[in-house]
Amino acid sequence: MKTKDSIYPRRLPGVRFNLSDDVFFIIRKKIMTREIRPGDRMNIDSLSRDLNVSQTPIREALARLEETGLVIKEPLKGFRASQLLNAKEAQDLFNFRSVLEPYAAKIAAEFSTKEQIEQMYKEIDFAKEIQNLSGIEAFEKLAEHDENIHTQIFEAAGNALLTKAYKASHCFLHLYRLHFIRDVPVDFEETMTEHAAIISALEMGDSHEAFSAMAQHIDNARNRFQYPAI
Amino acid sequence: MKTKDSIYPRRLPGVRFNLSDDVFFIIRKKIMTREIRPGDRMNIDSLSRDLNVSQTPIREALARLEETGLVIKEPLKGFRASQLLNAKEAQDLFNFRSVLEPYAAKIAAEFSTKEQIEQMYKEIDFAKEIQNLSGIEAFEKLAEHDENIHTQIFEAAGNALLTKAYKASHCFLHLYRLHFIRDVPVDFEETMTEHAAIISALEMGDSHEAFSAMAQHIDNARNRFQYPAI
DNA sequence: CGCAATAATTTCCTATAGGAAATTTCTGGT
DNA sequence: ACCAGAAATTTCCTATAGGAAATTATTGCG
């Protein structure tokens, strides 16, 4: 077991870092990308050997992931990646979002700065390149763009508790989404149009319009997941 | 360091238990009761010695508490109990609740069973004894009752994501509440009346009334915290 | 007397050994 | 061939030692 093979140098003098945090994000990414799939057992020893770190940071990372709900722990059996959402839980998720997000959009319309609006338009410009892509890559990029826009709106609303609740729900949406890899072009057009409508409302400071545009967007998203293609 | 002094026997044959979970709840309670106060440093060694368990379960518990936001970790400095909410964050909290809770009440009005309604009325009956108490004890009991009722409503709504978001917010409310220990009798009457109105709406299955009764309740609670007495 | 630099202590953080329960594999009997 | 019971392996879980950084205390100098 060579220390130099670790994901990080043993200890960089003067540089603050935190192995547990890094391990946390690495493992979460493995789950989000389905390298670790729902229901998979997550062996502490194996993870420790794979990432070439001791068991302690692995345990801390898994404990945090358990708190988020992405992994579950069975005493004396170990950790497993949690199961995907069933139909009822998915509906609950969309209901949850349809409560949080329109409100966030409303508040964002009142408080978002010019810089924040500018950043949102930039994000939309970046995303326009997605139409040149196809397949799983296009799908992933669109999902990433969607997360970025929504996160920006929540942050513009400026309520940390609200943002945290959104982020907690988002990882489940992402995993659920992977069940329904659809033909992107149709979704792409619709999603982009809806996002543009929301941000336009934010820019004008029209909180009522922002609210209903977001409500419509979530509702449409729910329907897009309703009829899975591919 | 005698093992028999541990919070648990070394290992009970055939009994599944989980030291980390227990430590998690013990430490969380210490924070909630302000035995550990906001900003306090939480030494892993000391906690380990106090609870007479090894450092590993302490680290796991603290990692989970960090994920909930009750403690924060500064690399190479250690864990500290997080600061209380400031005025802006407190307003955010009430805003957050005023989005979640009326919705939960609305859904609960549609779906709650007779047994659940019955349980809520029982909880209210229990709470009537609070008017015979006074001081910090009455305050604590009222807070506990309030949490119970709201939790029951969320669970009746049957959306796990929603319930989780509520619980995440609740511990912060509880800590914040300790800033504003008021004369209980006034609050008691108001709170009990408002709770009764909500549950009455749930019982009748009147989702519209449940929504507005809850919205009013949260709004009143916000005002009760606005002008701290004592 | 105050400030800066150095020494000492504290504390986090990692690594590893060892014990206990659960799972899996293997063997023997019906 | 199938099932029950026992042995072996796996894996979790705890405990403890040791290294590195940060904090605190101390000392020397201006």
Q: How far apart are CA A117 and CA A202, in angstroms?
A: 8
- Mean pLDDT, range B166-191, rounded to an integer: 81
Q: How far apart are CA B145 and CA A110, in angstroms?
A: 36
- Mean pLDDT, range A133-137, rounded to an integer: 82
Long-range contacts, B153-156 (Cβ 8 Å, 24+): B153/B101, B153/B104, B153/B105, B153/B108, B153/B120, B153/B198, B153/B202, B153/B214, B154/B104, B154/B108, B155/B116, B156/B108, B156/B111, B156/B112, B156/B113, B156/B116, B156/B202
Q: Does the pLDDT value for residue B47 go beyond 50?
A: yes
Share of chain B above pLDDT 70, in %: 88
Cα dist from B163 to A51, A168, B166, B167, B170, whole Å: 35, 13, 5, 6, 10
Of residues A76, A72, A41, the one with CA closest to residue B14: A76
Contact across the interface for B63 and A64, Cβ inside 8 Å: yes
- Mean pLDDT, range A193-211, rounded to an integer: 98
Contact across the interface for A67 and B67, Cβ inside 8 Å: yes
Could you tell me the two tokens for A89?
């839980």
Q: pLDDT at position B57, please?
A: 87
Q: pLDDT at position A5, please?
A: 35
Yes or no: say if A58 and A73 are a contact pair by the CB < 8 Å rule: no
Could you tell me the two tokens for B49?
């010695």
Residue of A46 and A203 predicted with greater confidence: A203
Diameter of chain A measured on Cα atoms: 60
Residues in chain B within 8 Å Cβ distance of A60 = 59-60, 63
pLDDT in tens, B57-111: 899 899 999 999 999 888 778 898 988 888 899 999 999 999 999 999 999 999 9
Of residues A67, A62, A76, A64, the one with CA closest to residue B17: A76
- Please tell me which of the candidates B18, B20, B92 has its beta carbon nearest to residue A161: B92
Q: Please, is A53 exposed, middle or buried when counting C-beta atoms within 10 Å of its C-beta (0-12, 13-18, 19+)?
A: buried
Q: pLDDT at position A109, please?
A: 98
Determine the residue of chain B that is closest to A56 in CA distance.
Answer: B56
Report the amino acid identity of residue A160: A
> HSE of B184 in the Cβ direction (CA atoms, 13 Å)?
20
Residue of B4 and A123 predicted with greater confidence: A123
- Please tell me which of the candidates B69, B75, B92 has its beta carbon nearest to residue A159: B92
β-pairing, A71-74 with B71-74? Answer: unpaired
- Mean pLDDT, range B120-125, rounded to an integer: 97
Q: pLDDT at position A89, please?
A: 92
Q: pLDDT at position A2, please?
A: 27
pTM of the model: 0.88
Where is mean pLDDT largest: B46-60, B67-81, B200-214? Answer: B200-214
Look at A159-163, B65-69, B212-216 and tell me which has the smallest mean pLDDT: B65-69
Cα dist from A184 to A18, A33, A132, A190, whole Å: 38, 18, 11, 10
Of residues A70, A95, A68, the one with CA closest to residue A80: A70
Could you tell me the two tokens for B116?
């659940």
Contact across the interface for B68 and A67, Cβ inside 8 Å: yes
How big is chain A, counted in residues? 230
- Closest Cα of chain A to B76: distance in Å? 8
Residues in chain B within 8 Å Cβ distance of A89 = 160-161
Q: Among B44, B58, B60, B85, pick the best mutation site for testing chain A contact (most A Cβ within 10 A).
A: B60
The protein side of the strand C contact, defined by CB less than 7 Å from any of its atoms, consists of A 1, 3, 6, 18-20, 53-57, 76-77; B 11-14, 16, 41-45, 55, 59, 73, 75-79
Residues in chain A within 8 Å Cβ distance of B162 = 92, 95-96, 99
Q: Does the pLDDT value for residue A9 go beyond 80?
A: no
Say whether B80 sits in a helix, a strand or coil.
strand
Residue of B13 and A30 predicted with greater confidence: A30
Residues in chain B within 8 Å Cβ distance of A96 = 159, 161-162, 165
